[in-house]
Amino acid sequence: MTASDTIVAIATAPGRGGIGVVRLSGGDIDPFISALTGKVLQARHASHVRFLDAEGGALDDGIALYFPAPNSFTGEHVLELQGHGGPQVLQLVVERCLQLGARLAEPGEFSRRAFLNGKLDLAQAEAIADLIDASSREAARSALRTLEGEFSSKINQLRDGLIQLRMLVEATLDFPEEDIDFLEQANAWGKLSALQARLGEVMAQARQGALLREGLNVVLIGQPNVGKSSLMNQLAGYDAAIVTEYAGTTRDTLREAIQIEGVPIHLIDTAGLRETDDPVERLGIARTWAVLEKADIALLLIDSNHGIGEQEAKILAQLPPIPRLTLHNKIDILGDTARVSADGKEIWLSAKSGAGIDLLRRQLLEEVGWHSQGEGMFIARARHLDALRRAGDRLQAAAAAGKQLEFFAEELRLAQDAVSEITGEFSSDDLLGVIFSQFCIGK
């Protein structure tokens, strides 16, 4: 495999459709254009052609689009063949391209070439996959803003600020006659504080974007018959789980995808936690503890008729260190009203009547730090958060270095490296391989 290979892939989703697209990209597309269409194509002009086999017979007919380098998605010569969307028809066209010397594109290889050829940075390339995978309107809009460069612009501003501060510090190191007074007059430490504040703002926005992309794993736990399945059905909006009066009805983890304010919520109903000799129920309980290890937040349901007792205390003592809300269910039986405690950690509700469910939705998002920012939000990934976190640590170390300028300068350099990883300005080939291998073929 080399970067000069001509690559080919079906760019539309698997299955049958009205239209299917086969895309080629490479350094020399002319032989493919000639053999596949028998014509000379005008750049960026839709031409109605037949797609030809080796004997000149028609494989299909459709539209051919030619984008000469560098004015194409990948920065290379690109040919798109838009024909009928039958899988066999598209495969025949791909096989003809392979006969002509192309090779099958690897997952994400078109986007990777676009990145390597400077058509977009790494954060924008990742946003292509995020836009395709978006599970809500808000996530799709945020991914589009990242693709258009909003996130990258903020990262580049951070990088430029770090570069300017490094220039001041390293100039002082290179010219000993320039003493600490020079840095103080240039407000170097004030610039550092401003960079830390700006980084904190970007980190907060990135956390919001990561919530939109990744969603939340929310686990419902509690003793049998406290109303976990009823609550799941209320949140899902339909009967996703079986509800009966018999304890132990739910014996396995049930999963349901919902949205709250556009945030994807992966809701997991679990087996009731109790001592039991039933081997099947014990397996379900073991799975409950397993999913809790990967949960972002736990919802502990309690029967409000008796409150937190010995069994509930045992459950609380065994919970992993994750955020949790305590839900006092069945307030309809007591004639109680829905409410939230002063600290926001307890909610009184009825999974049967729906009273207090809106309070739960709102508190659930507040617990994980969600603050809708409307049109200003951009999508972000876990690796972006990690890079920003490391940059923040380096800036904190730079502040601690004070007037030890060698250490100050080195921490600034490490912070710049961490920030630059986000856009791919400083990225290893191994990192690029992992990122683009997660893309779909044809992108």
56, 76: one domain:
yes
Among 8-12, 129-133, 159-163, 369-373, name the one with the lowest average pLDDT: 369-373
Q: Of 91, 119, 147, which residue constitutes the final position of a domain?
A: 119
CA distance 276 to 274: 6
Q: Of 72, 101, 119, which residue constitutes the final position of a domain?
A: 119
Pair 347, 326: CB distance under 8 Å? yes
108, 133: one domain:
no
Q: Specify if 267 maps to a domain.
A: yes
CATH, residue 13: 3.30.1360.120
For position 365, what pLDDT does the model report? 86
Answer yes or no: is pLDDT of 389 > 90. yes
357, 382: one domain:
no
Q: Specify if 315 maps to a domain.
A: yes
Structure tokens at 182: 């020079």
Among 220-234, 285-299, 398-412, name the one with the lowest average pLDDT: 285-299
198-210 mean pLDDT: 89
Q: Tens digits of per-residue pLDDT, 216-249?
A: 888 888 777 788 888 888 888 766 544 444 344 4
Helix (H) or strand (E) holding 308: none
User: What angle is formed at CA 87 by the lines to CA 436 and CA 26, rounded to 5 degrees?
Assistant: 45
For position 372, what pLDDT does the model report? 64
Answer yes or no: is pLDDT of 99 > 60. yes
322, 226: one domain:
yes
Answer yes or no: is pLDDT of 251 > 50. no
Pairing of strands 77-85, 339-340: unpaired
Q: For all residues of the chain together, what is the average pLDDT?
A: 83
Q: Specify if 2 maps to a domain.
A: no
Q: Tens digits of per-residue pLDDT, 142-199?
A: 888 898 889 999 999 999 999 988 888 887 776 665 566 767 777 888 899 999 999 9
For position 289, what pLDDT does the model report? 65
Q: Say what the pTM is.
A: 0.74
Q: What residues contact residue 54 under an 8 Å CB cut-off, 6+ apart?
A: 96, 99
For position 193, what pLDDT does the model report? 93
Pair 174, 440: CB distance under 8 Å? no
Q: Specify if 112 maps to a domain.
A: yes
Q: Of 51, 84, 119, which residue constitutes the final position of a domain?
A: 119
CATH, residue 336: 3.40.50.300
Q: In this structure, what DSSP letter does residue 41 have?
A: P
Share of the chain above pLDDT 70, in %: 82
For position 178, what pLDDT does the model report? 55
DSSP-H helix ranges across 216-356: 228-236, 279-292, 310-318, 331-334
Burial status of residue 244 (CB atoms within 10 A of its CB: 0-12, 13-18, 19 or more): exposed
Answer yes or no: is pLDDT of 254 > 60. yes
Q: Which domain holds residue 309?
A: 216-295+297-367
Q: Specify if 403 maps to a domain.
A: yes
Radius of gyration of the chain (CA): 28
234, 306: one domain:
yes
Answer yes or no: is pLDDT of 283 > 90. no
135, 148: one domain:
yes
Q: Specify if 182 maps to a domain.
A: yes
Q: Report the candidate in 89, 116, 73 with the shortest Cα–Cα distance to residue 22.
A: 89
CATH, residue 178: 1.20.120.430
For position 248, what pLDDT does the model report? 45
> Greatest CA separation found in the chain?
83
The count of domains in the chain is: 3
267, 407: one domain:
no
Helices and strands, counts by H and E, the chain: 16, 13
DSSP codes, 150-218: HHHHHHHHHHHHHHHHHHHHHHHHH-TTS-HHHHHHTTHHHHHHHHHHHHHHHHHHHHHHHHHHH-EEE
Q: What residues contact residue 107 under an 8 Å CB cut-off, 6+ apart?
A: 436, 437, 438, 439, 440, 441
Pair 51, 60: CB distance under 8 Å? yes
Burial status of residue 44 (CB atoms within 10 A of its CB: 0-12, 13-18, 19 or more): exposed
157, 94: one domain:
no
The distance from CA 78 to its chain's CA centroid, rounded to whole angstroms, is 28
200, 148: one domain:
yes
Pair 377, 209: CB distance under 8 Å? yes
Q: Tens digits of per-residue pLDDT, 32-47?
A: 999 999 999 999 999 9
Determine what percent of the chain falls in helix, strand and coil, rounding each to the nearest 5: 45, 20, 35
For position 244, what pLDDT does the model report? 44
CA distance 247 to 271: 10
Q: Specify if 76 maps to a domain.
A: yes
Answer yes or no: is pLDDT of 275 > 80. no
Q: Specify if 22 maps to a domain.
A: yes
Strand ranges of the sheet holding 254-260, from the earlier edge strand across to the other edge: 254-260, 263-269, 216-222, 297-303, 324-329, 346-348, 339-340
Q: What are phi and psi of 157, to 5 degrees?
A: -65, -40
Strand ranges of the sheet holding 77-85, from the earlier edge strand across to the other edge: 47-52, 58-67, 77-85, 17-26, 7-10, 103-104
CA distance 270 to 98: 50
CA distance 390 to 396: 10
Helix (H) or strand (E) holding 5: none
Q: Tens digits of per-residue pLDDT, 20-33?
A: 999 999 989 999 99
Burial status of residue 308 (CB atoms within 10 A of its CB: 0-12, 13-18, 19 or more): middle
Structure tokens at 169: 């510090």
Answer yes or no: is pLDDT of 312 > 60. yes
235, 342: one domain:
yes
134, 260: one domain:
no
336, 400: one domain:
no
CA distance 248 to 238: 21
